Amino acid sequence: MKNDFIISARSVRNEHTSEKIISQLRNFIDLINTRSECTDWEITYSEEDSLSLTVRNSLTEECMQSATRQLVINVLIGAQSGTATCLGAQWSDWLETLEHAIGIAQLSQPDPFHALPPEQYFSQPIPTLEICSPEEVSFQSLVNRAIDLEKIASGLQGHHQKGTRLQSDGASIGADFHWIVRANSKGLWAIIPSSSFAQSVSLLAHLDDYHESDGAYEYCRRFTDLKNIDTFALLAQDRVCGKIGKKKIPTGNYPVIFSPRCARGWIKHLCSALSGRSQYLKSTFLLDYCDKPILPQWVNISDNPHSPWGKSSYPIDSDGLVTRPHEFIVDGVVKEYLLSYYSALRLNRTPNALGDGLKNVHMTTNIESLNEIVKKYPQCIVVDGVMGNGVNLIQGSYSQGIEGFLYQNGEKIHPLQEVTIATTLLPFYQSLEYHANDAEGDSGFQIGSLAFPMMRVSSQ
C-alpha cells in the first residue's frame, strides 16, 4: 500500500457530503413537493465510510473498506405508504426511486395509522450531541492493534490451570463514520454525524480432552475509549479458560445470578414486552401493564439518549422526533411503553420519541459486585452465557441452555455442563433481589449482575 489509508469524520463530511449534496437534497425536496399525489413524504440520505479487518496468526486474513451512499424515500398517498431505496447520489437514480416509492404506495393497502407526526413535533431544535469522534484512523494502526491484541490474548498470562494451551481464532478491529440527513414534509431537517469503533478477539482453549471457545467484544463512539488491549485480552482469556473442567450438577431449584453480559438481556426482554408493537398486536405477557408493578419497589430504570459519547446516544428517533430522557420504571412500576408514532396512534397514546427503543439505560443498584452477591447464598449458579430461543414473550415463559458456574459459600467450584434454566417471567421479574454496580460498559444498556432467589435448573 503506497499511502496508508485513513478514514475520519472529515473524510465523510467534507469530501463526499459537500454543499453540492445538500443543495441536491434541497432541490430534490422541492421536486417532491410538486408531486400533488404525495400527501406527505420523508427521506433519509446517509453516507458511511467504514474500515474493518481481521487478523489470524499475525496475518491480515480479511480487510474491508466501504464507502456507501444511500437514499431512502417514503411517500404517503392518503393512508397508503410506499418506500424505495437507491444506492448512490445520482440525480437520475433519485428520480427513478421516487417513482418507485409512489408506485408502491399506489398499490399498497390503506392503513389509517400510516401518518407523519404533526408539525408541532418538529418545532423544537435538534440537540447537537457528542457522538462523532474527530479522530483519524489509519489502516496500519488498525492492523497493528489487531496483531498486538491477538498476540497478547493467545499468550497465557492469567492464573489458569497448568497445561492449558490457548489458540487464536482471530482478532478484529473496525472503524465506522456516518453522516445522515433526515427530512420530511412536516418540517424535519436534521444533519447528524456519528462514529463507532469496535474490537473483538476469539480464543480456543485446550486442556487434555477439554476444548472450549470464547472471547470478548466491545464498541464505543471514540477509538480512544476502547479498552486497553492488555485488559481486553485478559478478559477474553479468563472467559475461555474459565470454561475448562465442566461438570454436571443435580437438577433442582437454585438461586441464579446473571453476569453483566447476560443480565442486560433481561432488561431487553422487558423492553420488547413493553413495546408499542407488542401491545397493539396483543402479543405480550405484559399486555396493558402501564402503571402496574413489574419489578421490586427499589428498582428504577431510566434512559438518557443524550449522554456525551454514550454508546447509543442519538438526537432523534426513527420518526424524527427529538429524543429526551425517560423514567421507564419508577419504584418498580411501568411508566410508559416504547412507542413509535405508528404504535402511539394504534394505542391512542401520545408519542414519546421511543420509536427506536431505549438508548443509554441505567438501573438502580443495591450491591457493589457479583463477588458480593455470591456470598449471600450458600449455593448458587452464575450464568455467563445463554443458548437457544426459549424466551416466549407472548406466554411469559422462559427456558434456555446456559453456560456458567456453580458457587458455594462465595467460592467458584466448577463450570457447568449441559444445564437448562426455566421460569415463568412475570413472578421472576418481581422476585429480583440484587442488582450490582458492575456493568461492563460495553453496551448502551448499563446493567450489572442480576440475582434472583430461585430458578428451576435441569441438568441432563
- Whether 170 and 257 share a structural domain: no
The one-letter amino acid code at 89 reads A
- Whether 256 and 174 share a structural domain: no
* Phi-psi group of 441: left, alpha or beta (phi > 0 → left; psi -120 to 50 → alpha; rest → beta): left
| 140 in any annotated domain | yes
- Whether 140 and 252 share a structural domain: no
| 188 in any annotated domain | yes
| 216 in any annotated domain | yes
Within 8 A by CB and 6+ apart from 176, the residues are 48, 49, 50, 51, 52, 195, 196, 197, 198
Domain boundaries, position 64: 6-239
Question: Do the beta carbons of residue 229 and residue 216 sit within 8 Å?
Answer: no
| 290 in any annotated domain | no
The three grid cell numbers given for residue 291, joined into one nine-digit string = 402503571
- Whether 104 and 233 share a structural domain: yes
Q: Which residues pair with 205 in a beta bridge?
A: 166, 212
Which residues of the chain fall below pLDDT 70?
1-5, 7-17, 156-161, 460
- Whether 247 and 229 share a structural domain: no
Question: Do the beta carbons of residue 43 and residue 29 sit within 8 Å?
Answer: yes
Question: Do the beta carbons of residue 160 and residue 212 sit within 8 Å?
Answer: no
List C-alpha distances in Å: 187 to 149, 190, 228: 48, 10, 44
- Whether 232 and 256 share a structural domain: no
d(CA 86, CA 74): 12
* Phi-psi group of 75: left, alpha or beta (phi > 0 → left; psi -120 to 50 → alpha; rest → beta): beta
400-453 pLDDT per residue, tens: 999 999 999 999 999 999 999 999 999 999 999 999 999 988 889 999 999 999
- Predicted pLDDT of residue 9: 62
- Whether 252 and 118 share a structural domain: no
- Whether 248 and 167 share a structural domain: no
CATH number for the domain harbouring residue 131: 3.30.2290.10
- Whether 44 and 183 share a structural domain: yes
- Whether 16 and 51 share a structural domain: yes
| 327 in any annotated domain | no
92-120 pLDDT per residue, tens: 999 999 999 999 999 999 999 999 999 99
- Whether 394 and 442 share a structural domain: yes
The runs of H, that is alpha helices, within 319-384 are 341-347, 370-374
- Whether 246 and 171 share a structural domain: no
| 326 in any annotated domain | no
d(CA 456, CA 166): 34
| 37 in any annotated domain | yes
